[in-house]
Structure 1
């Protein structure tokens, strides 16, 4: 009788364990199915109506993303394996960003955007040369981006070097030819700085001047100028703050060039 009772309890215990395992497996399956459904739903939303269709919508998307970045609450959108796979055969970025190569200035993070959202060109001092112009023309004409942002940033090393080379004239060593050539492209932005201001304030003004100079140069390229005139896209200048993470846009949507 004693052994029979033990056998019964062993059977009950075994059945309970089996039932718990089955319940756990079903719960895991439900969670996996829910994750798959959520991912599929997100992918459907982000590939259709959520994508900005105008320059104004693109601007608002960048503003909202930067606000999340500044607040330390990024969403990291469009970074799933499924979304990445959906872009293998095509891309449809809604904005083009010309920014500095500085390692602290990463447009994808600063604007809290994901894979395929922006067409980004980065070069020291956000200078414009034929390669940069060609890349931007490709984004506007072939990819149909609606907004072009030229973004400088605080404490830009390239602009600072140009200031010391062309304004303060206190460069201790001559730069290699390639760097000197780059600084030469920034030199026009150093003209007209107020010598009564501190070097820091003059450099800050030079950084803004360099952004505006890049916009002016791009606006003089026939195809890009035509795109501005017929409203295919718009240009915005901006300055990124290394201290706060905030992007300050210089102008409104006034591109009647």
Structure 2
């Protein structure tokens, strides 16, 4: 696997800086002009892969104030890890040599709320209210993720304070998705263990526009 010129720490710094601009209303909208469009028409070299929720309020390129060719973005509701998601991320690692995969979740996630509702119904013993189509299967999968999380898990917020705070369910789901990506993909796991790839997860706040990045491993 070829190495990129950018280190994962620099990728994280660029994401953090871009999000700070977005949250403060000082976005630059970089790499969005005709020169950039023409420049990336013959190939791509994104500095990070972002696996995010499909929610329309959390578009990674906007949240991180990035432009054409900057991010390799994969999205699914509730950050569910399916074969197409894994194949897409493996392409980013193997073919594009991204140094970082960031799994991005958000507070107020409808998929997580559906899973919490399903868990509450089961706990109460009430008859289950099934969701239409494939939505119930999605809620089931996320409820198993959340149910598997036990103990005193915390989310570090080094940008704000050194004191950890308890994980929200959205953060727990996002951390589980990051672990699942690594566990289910031998290719991604091998790149990570070789030191060629860093994995991290993050939570986006819908009201403040701020992203808290955590769980970075090198």
| TM bucket normalised to smaller | 0.7 to 0.9
Matched, 1:79 2:43: no
Q: 1:192 to 1:129 in 2, by over 3 A?
A: closer
1-side partners of 2:56 and 2:205: how far apart? 14
Larger radius of gyration: 1
Conserved? CA contact 1:52–1:94, under 8 Å: no
2-side partners of 1:77 and 1:95: how far apart? 16
| Structure 2 unaligned blocks of 5 or more | 151-166
How far residue 171 of structure 1 moved from its aligned partner, in angstroms, is: 8.3
2-side partners of 1:90 and 1:192: how far apart? 41
2-side partners of 1:207 and 1:250: how far apart? 13
Aligned to 1:238: 202
2-side partners of 1:85 and 1:172: how far apart? 53
2-side partners of 1:145 and 1:168: how far apart? 42
* TM-score of the aligned structures, taking structure 1 as reference length: 0.71
| Structure 1 unaligned blocks of 5 or more | 1-50, 195-203
- Greater RCO between the two (CA within 8 Å, min separation 6)? 2
Judging by fraction of residues, say which structure has more helix. Answer: 1
Q: How many residues align?
A: 195
Matches within 5 A, 1:207-218: 207-218=170-181
Deviations 1:88-137 (A, max 9, x none): 11001010001111111111111000000000011110111111011000
Aligned to 1:247: 211
Aligned to 2:138: 182
Q: What SS is found at the alignment partner of 1:215?
A: helix
* TM-score of the aligned structures, taking structure 2 as reference length: 0.84
Equivalent in 195, 198, 206 of residue 169 of structure 2: 206
Conserved? CA contact 2:149–2:172, under 8 Å: no
